[in-house]
Structure 1
Amino acid sequence: MNSDVLSDAFFESLGSSNVALEKANTLPPACYTDDAFYRFEQEALFNHEWLCVGREAQVAKPGDYFTTRIIGEPIIVARDRAGVIHAMSAVCQHRAMLVAEGAGNARSFVCPYHHWTYGLNGDLVGAPAMGRTCDFEKSSAGLPVFKVEIWFGFIFINFDRDAAPLAPRLAEVGKAIANYRLDEAETLTPFTGQFPWNWKVMFENNNDGYHASRLHQGPLHNFVPSERAVFPDSDPADAGFLRFNGTLHPDASFNPTQRAVLPIFPDLVAEDRGRMTFANVPPTLSLVMTSDLVIYLILRPDGAETMEQDTGFLVAPGASKDPAFEHRLEMIMTSSRKIIAQDMHVDELVQQGLRSRFATRGRYSWQEGAQSQFNRWLILRYLAAWQALKARGEQGA
């Protein structure tokens, strides 16, 4: 990895972002722009952390599947005939053709190129005209499979077969959002967008309590003021962290009435209903939770300064049966789109600013506590990966 930023001096400099918020600096701009650092992040984060790829509802029936990609890796998620969810590479082990695209229902995955056929669990079950090939065994030519864990209805995968389970490392986050019972929520159809900025710019923006009363000032957002932001302590060794933001009244929602217009998640208590909850499982999942709607973001980087994102919505069980559901949902979507447009404009200009020779390592307001949590989560993994690379003699590769 040839880059000026991949050095002992650079990683030592991260220490000033790994201290108490009132003393901390932002991360170096190169963490958001440098191609070599992005490749380093693939090993430091994405090769070993649990990555959200979607919802169980996307593979509701046996044979259902969908495809996605993270850090350029094409992935299939499928439910087999016994009801078990599998995740595997979409790359045919013959000539690297992708064996599936999009989503649907299938009995198997047939490579369109030479018709190698794989089961819903990734096993190779058919390989035409391979009988004369020496030492060829179908049992050793299946699609590479990944670890899978389901958390509140979200499907996570891990490229690291030795990775520790996810749920125990999300105990505190799980407690905070348990009353939403997201595993029982209705999942609306997600949509995907492509964006010209680093994935951390998006993750930080979604957790930035400081800008809420400034960038989004006005009747569509002023019920959730920045000064009511709360940042619970978190252990960077855990898999996630939280941000709460108190609201001016219970059951606040992003629509012109400022109040919930969809059915409220039925098990929420007064504490839940008096705040917005932001639950984060980096590097891929961020949740924005109100009393009547949960927005989830699945971040999928594909370069140092580019990313894709799946944006989805969860509602209370049975909410969509209301004849007025689509009209009520549109009230929220119309307002949300205006707020999101402001965020997107900022994200794009922040990325441009990070490329400038004048970009510096700024200081934080107390209302940016989630950025400190995120930095500590990142830096713990950055430093461990850098030491591992040095031990293997790969830091200059």
Structure 2
Amino acid sequence: MTITLTSEFIRSLDSSAQDVSTAETLPPECYTDAEFYAFEKEAIFTREWLCVGRESWLAEPGDYFTTTIANEPMVVARNRKGEIKAMSSVCQHRAMLVAEGSGNARGFLCPYHHWAYSLDGDLVAAPAMNKTCDFDRKAHGLPNFKVELWHGFIFVNLDAEAEPLAPRLTQVAEAIAPYDLAKAEGPRPEPAPLMAWNWKVMFENNNDGYHASRLHHGPLHDFVPSNLAEFPPADPAAAGYLRYNGSTHPDASFNATQKAMLPIFPGLTEVERNRLTFANLPPTLSLVMTSDVVIYMILRPDSPQTHYMDTGLLVAPGAMKDDAFPHKLEAMWTATQHIIAQDFDVDAKVQIGLQSRYAKRGRYSWQEGAQAGLNNWLIRRYKAEWERHNPEPPVKPRLAVVGG
């Protein structure tokens, strides 16, 4: 199914940006259509703060890693001053990638023609360009992006005029503060496989309380039943939103024992130890937070119907020093993989269904309150992008008729 973006289509999205009791799902084309994906890249991924990784991945000057989000290759590095820099990894000569993977480097050398860039993105060498008229090295550096650190995560923004992220995350920051994620530790995620479904399908699944007691029914998940889901109201201007899910016992965790196997995050209160916290910073970061483990998922769209997702784990400081840590983590992760496999199977089949002529805009259960939160976040930005390029004509004042 394809669409032609019009003002009428954008207005039709308003029925998804309502309270969950009255809202309907987004049109299926928002998950499948190439024209909408191109629009979404401009509306969302070139204007919003994008999580790219953890600050701990750049421990030393010269450390770098690369990523690609919505078809934009990036390199993130710690320069010689200790500052974190993010920039395009596309050579400004012939568009070759100047960096791949991760490592430690003095700078970035394009392997094609050996244009060399500093860790700040400045072009420092360009062989055999002395006969090129009016060539100015300073004008050909790698495009730099805004960078902001938030609870140990690195965010970048391609929009040079973007407002800071943290002031729009006060509610989320307060909710997750007891975890002190800036000090949390965890192994670097393995390279992510390509997922054959739209990034929003994944983001919705990560935050769907409705399916928990149905799709995941069994001993690995029954301690967080759907009927204990809560959805705190969020400021429409906020950059993120929350979901809580009460647990049937304290310190519940995803493993065969249903109890935390690793050290509890030391700052948690009794309230936090009796629930799971789901923190959502669209379009790229979802957090699933138990008493002993935080699972983070960084979503990276690749096409209208595919994306990558970097999945990592964070634990309390010092937990990884325990000799038994690898064995406990393996037990926990093995159990979690059973749940993830169920989710991935559903996500792939949802994407198939969204392409059907019979796919329609559905209605929500109260246990899907997080979906309404995502819709409100998205549609506010879709409309702003549309109005930026298609302003409504001013309404002409009606002239009063005098006399009869």
Q: Same fold (TM over 0.5)?
A: yes
Which structure's CA Rg is the greater one?
2
Residue in structure 2 matched with residue 284 of structure 1 by the alignment:
284
Residue in structure 2 matched with residue 49 of structure 1 by the alignment:
48
Residue in structure 2 matched with residue 328 of structure 1 by the alignment:
328
* RMSD, aligned CA: 1.2
The alpha carbon displacement at 1:223 in A equals 0.3
Q: Contact 2:198–2:304 at 8 Å: present in 1 too?
A: yes
The alpha carbon displacement at 1:4 in A equals 3.2
Report 1:195-210 matches (<5 A). 195-210=195-210
The alpha carbon displacement at 1:11 in A equals 1.4
Q: C-alpha distance in 2, partners of 1:257/1:119?
A: 51
Structure 1: gaps spanning 5 or more residues:
none
Any idea what SS the aligned residue of 1:243 has? strand
Residue in structure 2 matched with residue 182 of structure 1 by the alignment:
181
Identity across matched positions, percent: 64
Given residue 383 of structure 2, which amino acid in structure 1 is its aligned partner? L
Q: Contact 1:247–1:274 at 8 Å: present in 2 too?
A: yes
Residue in structure 2 matched with residue 136 of structure 1 by the alignment:
135
The alpha carbon displacement at 1:249 in A equals 0.8
Residue in structure 2 matched with residue 39 of structure 1 by the alignment:
38
Q: C-alpha distance in 1, partners of 2:199/2:365?
A: 22
Q: Contact 1:11–1:383 at 8 Å: present in 2 too?
A: yes
Q: C-alpha distance in 2, partners of 1:391/1:25?
A: 26
Residue in structure 2 matched with residue 89 of structure 1 by the alignment:
88
The alpha carbon displacement at 1:392 in A equals 11
The alpha carbon displacement at 1:225 in A equals 0.5
Q: C-alpha distance in 2, partners of 1:20/1:290?
A: 28
Q: Contact 1:56–1:154 at 8 Å: present in 2 too?
A: yes
Residue in structure 1 matched with residue 162 of structure 2 by the alignment:
163
The alpha carbon displacement at 1:242 in A equals 0.3
Aligned residue pairs total 391
Structure 2: gaps spanning 5 or more residues:
394-404
Q: C-alpha distance in 1, partners of 2:200/2:47?
A: 17
Report 1:91-130 matches (<5 A). 91-130=90-129
Q: C-alpha distance in 1, partners of 2:330/2:236?
A: 38
Residue in structure 2 matched with residue 314 of structure 1 by the alignment:
314
Q: Contact 1:5–1:30 at 8 Å: present in 2 too?
A: no
The alpha carbon displacement at 1:132 in A equals 1.9
Residue in structure 1 matched with residue 253 of structure 2 by the alignment:
253
Report 1:218-367 matches (<5 A). 218-367=218-367
The alpha carbon displacement at 1:391 in A equals 3.5
Q: C-alpha distance in 2, partners of 1:233/1:95?
A: 48
Any idea what SS the aligned residue of 2:390 has? helix
Q: C-alpha distance in 1, partners of 2:75/2:326?
A: 31
Residue in structure 1 matched with residue 401 of structure 2 by the alignment:
none
Q: C-alpha distance in 2, partners of 1:263/1:352?
A: 41
The alpha carbon displacement at 1:236 in A equals 2.6
Q: Contact 1:66–1:102 at 8 Å: present in 2 too?
A: yes
- The Cα offsets for residues 244-278 of structure 1, whole Å up to 9 and x where unpaired, read as 00001111000010000011111111111111000
Q: Could you list the structure 1 runs, at least 4 aligned residues long, displaced by more than 4 angstroms after superposition.
A: none
Q: C-alpha distance in 2, partners of 1:369/1:47?
A: 27
Is residue 29 of structure 1 aligned with residue 28 of structure 2? yes
Residue in structure 2 matched with residue 375 of structure 1 by the alignment:
375
Given residue 313 of structure 1, which amino acid in structure 2 is its aligned partner? L
Q: Contact 2:60–2:82 at 8 Å: present in 1 too?
A: yes
Which stretch of structure 1 is more off in the superposition, 18-27 or 274-283? 18-27
Q: Contact 2:3–2:29 at 8 Å: present in 1 too?
A: no
Q: Contact 2:3–2:33 at 8 Å: present in 1 too?
A: no
Q: C-alpha distance in 2, partners of 1:347/1:166?
A: 30
Q: C-alpha distance in 2, partners of 1:72/1:356?
A: 26
Q: C-alpha distance in 1, partners of 2:199/2:111?
A: 33
Q: C-alpha distance in 2, partners of 1:184/1:19?
A: 37
Any idea what SS the aligned residue of 2:21 has? helix
Q: C-alpha distance in 1, partners of 2:224/2:85?
A: 40
Given residue 129 of structure 1, which amino acid in structure 2 is its aligned partner? A
Q: C-alpha distance in 1, partners of 2:365/2:3?
A: 30
The alpha carbon displacement at 1:7 in A equals 1.0
Residue in structure 1 matched with residue 172 of structure 2 by the alignment:
173
